[in-house]
Chains A and B, each alone.
Chain A
Amino acid sequence: MAVETPHEKKSVPDGLWIKCEGCQEIIYNKDLESNFMVCPKCNHYFRLNTGQRIKLLLNPGSFKEIDAQVQPKDPLNFKDTTSYTNRTRKHQKKTGFYDAVVTGYGKIGRNNVVIAVMNFNYMGGSMGSVVGEKITRAIENAVKKKYPMIIVSSSGGARMQEGIFSLMQMAKTSAAIALLDKEKIPYISILLDPTTGGVSASFAMLGDINIAEPAALIGFAGPRVIEQTIKQTLPPHFQKSEFLLEHGMIDMIVERKDLKDVLDRTLGLLKKGK
């Protein structure tokens, strides 16, 4: 296989300067990085890659990856304009990972956790069998160790190329979340831009606590599908974090720089309840 050691492509191209996708201003790369990849001028959130996300949330050096060897198959022998195998290979090369989620153990402050981080750069973070399996295994590990579960979601939804197998990952992962309830283990869901479809309609919306980054697109149907269906233009901020907070679907919007601290404090308080 092409992928032996995870080697990530940077989400921001090399170079000293970069043009912000939000305000079109030219910003100094180092300023962007020291500001957690948030534009210092307009507060636009650049997407973090998996390594950056893990670094943001976990104590340095505490992450231990599990199930890195789980790889996609092509159960339907699926071919559209290109074959599914070609697509996965291309994305494996592009991202340095076998599939769209990385799972493992880590520490947030004094809390041991099991964490899953989805990768939007890999086929839009779509959930096929590998994503479903790795997330389910991660949850089962959290149950075994009695560690809180953290899932960082960023996904367009179920992966079409695995057909019905993808759809069933929604049931599989949600059933696993039920185990966390039964064993009274905390589950915090972090929703990033974007989280839609089969991922929002399964584990991502099921957090004991749902946290979103600012201005993230979160919803069931994508805005284009809704517009085509109802033939109306959508209201401003529709399906953005702020809209979801207003409609009672998430507990809070947390700025990137504060995420780790909020997780640490929340897990600490929940622990005292026991």
Chain B
Amino acid sequence: MSNGIKGFDFESPVIELEEKIKELKNLGESENIDFSNEIKKLQQKCSKLKKDIFSNLTPFQKVYMARHPNRPNSTEYINMIFGDFIEMHGDRNYSDDKSIVGGIADFDDDSIMVIGHQKGRTTEENLMRNFGMARPEGYRKALRLMRLAEKYNLPVITLIDTPGAYPGIGAEERGQAEAIATNLKAMAGLSVPLVSVVIGEGGSGGALGIGVGNRVLMLENSIYSVISPEGCASILWRDASKAPEAALALKLTASDLYKFKIIDEVILEPLGGVHRDVEFVAKRLARSLKKQLDELKQMTAEELIQDRYQKFRQMGRFIDGSLQKSKKK
């Protein structure tokens, strides 16, 4: 349910109707009048409306859903799914980047390391979290925690939710490119299981910088893309207002990526998005994580590294002329 924060235009008929139902309920209670028939009718109308609007979202509407202000962020999932979360801070080098959180926690009587991009809920929080856009020290903190996980043989779970790595002067001075590149290489060689989940926005290299998992999952209305649709539109169409076309062309939805075999599993969301039933999604996500980790825990360190290498090795679509010729023979 909406908690006071306005939704997007395409959601507003649903939100308006929900408000009306609420008002009628309140009125009924305060005036002691029985509106139950009317309420029932409105509720039926509302669920039909939800189905009409939400079951056929366009890719660009999904981009909005992925960025929805009511969408749960990393710490909210961490608190719902894991117990006894002990947060760690800092990259031991420069500072503590608050746009990435991480620490150890309990998951079903096992210890895990969990790391995620962190967006805020309020403007104040978002400023503190830099809207989930990490700087090099964020990626280096993530790497430090992954190394710690290796030392204690803990599986690593990463939660991806970022518009992208931060483009700023300081970030460039301190080696944003190097920090991400080093993480990619380090994750490839990690000796413990690594499962990544895109929970909202999977924004390009900044997302991949904590996302080289043995398994990669996505929530149904999350997105994962090489560039934002706005950025793509302004470069290729030279017109940022063509973002809906770019969103369609980029094939950035969870179902697209599942079809491409880039991701391993899509976690279903209720109609209208996670924020309409957070617990439902948290439970599903917990179940999937458990299943994936149970499988990965059977592997040796060497097998885990091989598994990750092969997974990313086969990504890419091209024509190999020599193979074509030899097939024809």
Where the two chains meet, the residues of A that have a C-beta atom closer than 8 Å to any C-beta of B are 69-73, 75-76, 78-81, 128-130, 132-133, 136, 158-160, 162-172, 174-175, 177-178, 181-182, 196-198, 200-206, 218-221, 225-226, 229-230, 232, 234-235, 238-239, 243, 247-249
B172 within 8 A of A: yes
Q: Are A206 and B181 in contact (CB under 8 A)?
A: yes
Q: Which of these, A69, A198, A238, contacts B169 with CB under 8 Å?
A: A238
B208 within 8 A of A: yes
For B240-267 the 0/1 string (1 means CB < 8 A from A) is 0000011001111000110010100000
Instruction: Show 28 A/B contacts (Cβ-Cβ < 8 Å), sorted by A.
Output: A75-B317, A80-B236, A136-B313, A158-B204, A158-B205, A160-B250, A163-B250, A164-B251, A165-B260, A165-B262, A165-B315, A167-B205, A167-B225, A168-B262, A171-B188, A171-B211, A171-B315, A172-B316, A175-B212, A178-B189, A198-B204, A198-B205, A200-B181, A202-B184, A204-B181, A219-B172, A225-B231, A226-B172
Which one of B49-57, B65-73, B106-114, B319-327 contacts A?
B319-327
Taking CB atoms and an 8 Å cut-off, the chain B residues in 160-215 that contact chain A are 165-169, 171-178, 180-182, 184-189, 204-205, 208-209, 211-212
Residues of B within 8 A of A158 (CB): 204-205, 226-227
Q: Are A229 and B167 in contact (CB under 8 A)?
A: yes
User: Is chain B's binding surface mostly helix, strand, loop or mixed?
Assistant: helix
Q: Which of these, B177, B225, B227, contacts A205 with CB under 8 Å?
A: B177
Q: Are B236 and A81 in contact (CB under 8 A)?
A: yes
Q: Are B184 and A170 in contact (CB under 8 A)?
A: yes
Q: Which of these, B181, B187, B308, B316, contacts A168 with CB under 8 Å?
A: B316
Residues of A within 8 A of B174 (CB): 247
Q: Are A220 and B172 in contact (CB under 8 A)?
A: yes
Residues of A within 8 A of B315 (CB): 165, 168-169, 171-172
Write the nearest CB–CB distance from A91 to chain B, whole angstroms: 15
Q: Are B318 and A175 in contact (CB under 8 A)?
A: no
Q: Are A72 and B262 in contact (CB under 8 A)?
A: no
Residues of B within 8 A of A206 (CB): 181-182, 185
Residues of B within 8 A of A171 (CB): 184, 187-188, 208, 211-212, 312, 315
Q: Which of these, B181, B251, B262, contacts A174 with CB under 8 Å?
A: B181
Write the nearest CB–CB distance from A227 to chain B, whole angstroms: 9
Residues of B within 8 A of A75 (CB): 260, 317
Q: Known: A71-B321, A79-B249, A170-B208. Is A230-B177 also a contact (CB below 8 A)?
A: no
Write the nearest CB–CB distance from A201 to chain B, whole angstroms: 4
Q: Which residue of A lies closest to B165 (CB)?
A: A220
Q: Which residue of A lies closest to B182 (CB)?
A: A206
**Given A164-B256, A177-B185, A202-B205, 20 other A-B residues pairs in contact with their CB atoms under 8 A:** A70-B320, A71-B318, A72-B318, A75-B260, A75-B317, A158-B205, A165-B262, A167-B226, A171-B315, A174-B188, A178-B189, A198-B226, A201-B180, A203-B181, A206-B185, A220-B167, A221-B165, A225-B231, A232-B169, A249-B177
Q: Which residue of B lies closest to A249 (CB)?
A: B175
Q: Are A220 and B176 in contact (CB under 8 A)?
A: yes
Assembly CA distance A164 to B226 (angstroms): 5
Q: Are B176 and A163 in contact (CB under 8 A)?
A: no
Write the nearest CB–CB distance from A217 to chain B, whole angstroms: 11
Write the nearest CB–CB distance from B72 to chain A, whole angstroms: 24
